[in-house]
Amino acid sequence: MRKGKSLLVVVSFLSILFLASCGDDPGNTDINIDFYMSVKNAEGKNLLDTATVGHYVKDSIRLYLFKNGEMKELYRPNYDAQRNFLLFQNSAGEFGMKVFPEEGEGRQSQTTTILIQWDKNDSNNIDTVETYIDKKYTDNSESIYVTKITYNGEIKWDIETYPFYLQWGDLFYKRFFEVVK
């Protein structure tokens, strides 16, 4: 009798687990919102290159997210790009910045605003318009991607008028633009 009750409890538990796991599978979400930029001064010198006089120092650059009227520093110590950006050198020896903006919240089109603080006295706003596309493939996946990027109110890239990939050096970079400071 005791064995029968134990078996009944185990079968009931497994049935509940099975039924709880059935239903809509959220599938995979492809988050494709990063972009690339180069930063130059009025003379055309790359401000991310340590050889340039007055260059920006990587450890001084900060990204902040504007959300609900508040500014929050983007910092994730367990990520490779702890401050949501990476500095890199392309095949032609030029320096660039790869930025990982926040993907926002929810599943609707939205705009996120990020402040880049180059140093204590110099900052700029970047707005990214993210579009959520609900694609139901056979694997029930969906995509979130950027459709427009503005820098201090000026459109620097949008999906309608700029190429998705732009050659810079010997390689192609997605959503690439140049900023002159």
Q: From 65, 33, 25, select the one nearest 133 (Cα to Cα).
A: 33
Q: From 10, 112, 126, select the one nearest 61 (Cα to Cα).
A: 126
Domain that holds residue 41: 27-180
Residue 7 lies in a domain: no
Residue 89 lies in a domain: yes
Q: Which residue has the tokens 């633009």?
A: 177
- Spatial distance between the Cα atoms of 61 and 124, rounded to a whole number of angstroms: 11
Q: How many domains are there within the chain?
A: 1
- Spatial distance between the Cα atoms of 156 and 146, rounded to a whole number of angstroms: 12
Burial environment of residue 130 by CB neighbours within 10 A (0 to 12, 13 to 18, 19 or more): buried
Residue 12 lies in a domain: no
pLDDT-flagged residues of the chain (< 70): 1-27, 104, 106-108, 130-140
pLDDT, one tens digit per residue, over 54-102 is: 999 999 999 998 888 888 999 999 989 999 999 999 989 999 999 998 8
Give the per-residue pLDDT at 90.
92
